[in-house]
Structure 1
């Protein structure tokens, strides 16, 4: 038994629980502190710990497979981990989200019934997808070399010439197990989040950290503070009026939707109005977020005489480190994924050689730490990319930003659910990009030999459609952020912000009327 590996796994598990608990305490709102909503908090910490362990299973698989096979049954461990992930994605986290949504809602009288009905619909939908697709898409085409022999050659006839001729490349159909198919579905769904939001985040994460250094709060005079505070107050008044308007429109839409026949023109029109209300509400949330950030900066500039130099330098250093990590990921994808696909030959190992060097030199924990940095950074990019996408395209998705001491539990649960879905694709992504490092592992067998060759899914996985999409999104987002680096409505002390000025002008016009 590899005692070091066992101790290392337990250490990772303990470290993940402690770290995730601290993260929850750091981000949650003060009113959620203590034992309030304890079930949601346990689910959040458990979900993040599961994401940690899944992302670090590949280095554990590497240690268990080389130089000799270890005591862990990695195939069973991979299956159990992904089945647990599926349960958390479909049942556990949605239950917490549904429960938290109605916990303080007076209009929902039967809260348990609401949660159970919502959960049942989610479970039925997920089970239907698996049950319908599994019989048709669970065949994997494994490449083999076929020989047609005219005569049978026994062991005593090894000196004779080859009577089988040249081999012919062909494929055989193999039925994969249900647990492997669940892994493939989770990976396929997760790739949509990872490729789009991860691609955006790879460019947005370093840029935002550098901009936070450039736009850091600086000391201001009393006159400037009063002027800016007045503008913030006027903008806040306009947003309050908009909130009341949205509430009235939402109530009116709900009343109009009652009693209308389904699939009628009037019901479609009512649904369209409700969708427009949701879009306007998403834009409203973006404006509120930017205004709150401006007010916080204003308070720091006034009462703390600007942001601490140490904090500002740390933000700049983080921005530089994030930029280097993004660049390393892009180079790793191009060198180790796209170049072999285009040329048909293996490219330079790049980061693979670094991980292998740590493994062979006896510095296995440092190699795992470096591997974890790359994986966890990509997951951070997914969260950042989702927020940036919601800020720029408000009609598509609602924002759930992670803010220190000011994040509701439902926003944390939303990001946790997105991280869990992305984790499945992240594991496959790491196995693909670090294929040299992942050689001779059970992960290589599961993802490269089975999932990558499944019917329907193989087109996306073998041709690296999602990875190419990630690079394309990264390039588009990078160019876009160079042109418009700041979110619309963001404010700096060097020049008045157009969004804030427009809100203030609207407030003045309302006062005159």
Structure 2
């Protein structure tokens, strides 16, 4: 029977995610995109909903299956009335469609008329502009061929999973299982399982009690071919882990610091001398960046006139051009970083003086409260990894007991706690990406600034969130294995995907989790020494640009 409460919660969560996505789009979009770029807006809104639904599916899965012990003889996917296996399959297909089809196509379409960005390829030989749709389709076809080839070859080679199980001889008919079904114990989760129709399912308590007394047990390997949707979920999680281990580790340390710094650097009323000094400093920085912007513009116009390009095809066989392209990229990234920090300082300056009376004084205190809460969550994640995730066997259940205690007190609190800890990791991945790009100029900055964010930045951030969503779900299903032991996703990631050929080395040896923890510790030490973001030296950047033109 369908649990009406879970249906209502699912619908409410979907509505909330949609409303939040619309609000963020309206609040952050640039005025130039107000009545344009409808396709990218659609992709962004429902991409946000998809990312939120992915991480919130884990607590829904737990709530749907938490009463498994009381629904003996039924499929574990239906204990709460929701078929979580089908719902997860929909998510597993939707994420690669969004990441590798809709977001790239929308980005190419949105930027098709930017001749400099596309290295001059948005015009035909006779000078007439190409169709934006035709240009986007050409680039998308290239992406589709590469991604399709990788996905197809990977499934053909690595689709088998070898699950170590403990086999019990002498099975007999119990609760609907025929005597041809041999019960087995999963060596990862410790659960007794039955094998039927290519699906491993936990046994009912009656079966468990019987087979605990069965002798003649031995360890065997059960070889299965993983379904296409489950395999691609594992493949997407594998690729996403490279991003999540880096960005999530950085963000887990940076998130509390940046929120607390918002309180420390909150706007204060300036006296006449402080106002004059700050105004002079901002004016000088503005003039320097205007000069640098003019140098970059002149350099790019000269290259366009000479027909020079800095694309991948033009530089991959020429080391000198590759070095020149890297220098140009570093200069542009340094310029963007300096402009962003200047804009932040100008906003703070206006809040201290011109807009002081209109500034909401509660914002810094809200940031402080959120910062203190994020400190607690980050520390608890660190302790949980050290105490439960990495040791084998775990030293203590830790957060699993915490969630279980909440469920006994008030069931909804345990599920909400899982949702908070899961969503927090996804937010940390976004923070880590921006923080890493800000400090080391290793990637293009895509900050989310109210009223100043172009759709290209929206789509970049949504793509990043979707790539990190499945690693977050996999990590949380492992970290909360005791609490979520009956969840469908635990059987998918913890039983099938964990033992996939080639990928199993990374999962079984916790390679990504160790990397995640080490990066978090290194970032904490680094930010403790250099807590504030600093702009690239404008004079050095100007000298570098002048030397490139000489």
Question: Structures share a fold, TM > 0.5?
Answer: yes
TM-score by length of 2: 0.80
> For structure 1, which segment, 232-241 or 219-228, has the greater mean C-alpha deviation from structure 2 after superposition?
219-228
Q: 1:314-353 deviations in whole A, cap 9, x for unaligned?
A: 22112111111111111122222012x3xxx233222222
Three-state SS of the structure 1 residue aligned to 2:532 is: coil
Mapped to 2, the partners of 1:276 and 1:374 lie a distance apart of: 40
1:53 aligns to what?
53
1:480 aligns to what?
526
| Structure 2: gaps of 5 or more residues | 72-78, 123-128, 171-178, 180-213, 544-550
2:155 aligns to what?
134
- The partner residue of 1:247 within 266, 284, 297 is 297
Contact 1:142–1:172 (CA under 8 A) maintained in structure 2: yes
Contact 2:249–2:517 (CA under 8 A) maintained in structure 1: yes
2:100 aligns to what?
90
1:278 positional shift? 1.3
Q: 1:215-237 deviations in whole A, cap 9, x for unaligned?
A: 22221133432332232222222
Which has the larger helix fraction?
Answer: 1
Relative to structure 1, the CA distance from residue 137 to residue 295 in structure 2 (aligned partners, 3 Å threshold; closer, same or farther) is: same
Q: Does residue 351 of structure 1 match 2:361?
A: no
Q: Count residues with an aligned counterpart.
A: 478
1:298 aligns to what?
349
Mapped to 2, the partners of 1:192 and 1:467 lie a distance apart of: 10
Mapped to 1, the partners of 2:151 and 2:163 lie a distance apart of: 22
> For structure 1, which segment, 23-32 or 127-136, has the greater mean C-alpha deviation from structure 2 after superposition?
23-32
- The partner residue of 1:100 within 107, 110, 113 is 110
- Note the 1:252-331 alignment, pairs <5 A: 252-253=302-303, 255=306, 257=308, 267-305=318-356, 308-331=360-383
- The partner residue of 2:80 within 70, 83, 93 is 70
- Note the 1:353-392 alignment, pairs <5 A: 353-364=401-412, 366-392=413-439
TM-score by length of 1: 0.86
2:22 aligns to what?
21
Q: 1:39-96 deviations in whole A, cap 9, x for unaligned?
A: 2222111011111111111222222223232332222221111101111111112222
Q: Does residue 189 of structure 1 match 2:236?
A: no
Relative to structure 1, the CA distance from residue 44 to residue 504 in structure 2 (aligned partners, 3 Å threshold; closer, same or farther) is: closer
Three-state SS of the structure 2 residue aligned to 1:144 is: strand
- Note the 1:492-511 alignment, pairs <5 A: 499=537
Q: Does residue 338 of structure 1 match 2:390?
A: yes
Q: 1:433-491 deviations in whole A, cap 9, x for unaligned?
A: 1111211221111001110111111111111111111110000000000001111239x
> For structure 1, which segment, 180-189 or 39-48, has the greater mean C-alpha deviation from structure 2 after superposition?
39-48
Supply the RMSD in Å over aligned alpha carbons.
2.9
1:238 aligns to what?
288
Mapped to 1, the partners of 2:316 and 2:57 lie a distance apart of: 53
Relative to structure 1, the CA distance from residue 227 to residue 19 in structure 2 (aligned partners, 3 Å threshold; closer, same or farther) is: same
Relative to structure 1, the CA distance from residue 37 to residue 220 in structure 2 (aligned partners, 3 Å threshold; closer, same or farther) is: same
Q: 1:402-423 deviations in whole A, cap 9, x for unaligned?
A: 1222222211111111000000
Q: Does residue 9 of structure 1 match 2:10?
A: yes
Three-state SS of the structure 2 residue aligned to 1:169 is: strand
1:161 aligns to what?
none
Mapped to 2, the partners of 1:294 and 1:55 lie a distance apart of: 35
Three-state SS of the structure 2 residue aligned to 1:173 is: strand
Mapped to 2, the partners of 1:2 and 1:261 lie a distance apart of: 54
Mapped to 1, the partners of 2:369 and 2:297 lie a distance apart of: 43
Contact 1:257–1:267 (CA under 8 A) maintained in structure 2: no
Mapped to 2, the partners of 1:425 and 1:261 lie a distance apart of: 30
2:42 aligns to what?
42
> For structure 1, which segment, 42-51 or 105-114, has the greater mean C-alpha deviation from structure 2 after superposition?
105-114
1:213 aligns to what?
263
1:81 aligns to what?
91
Mapped to 2, the partners of 1:400 and 1:122 lie a distance apart of: 22
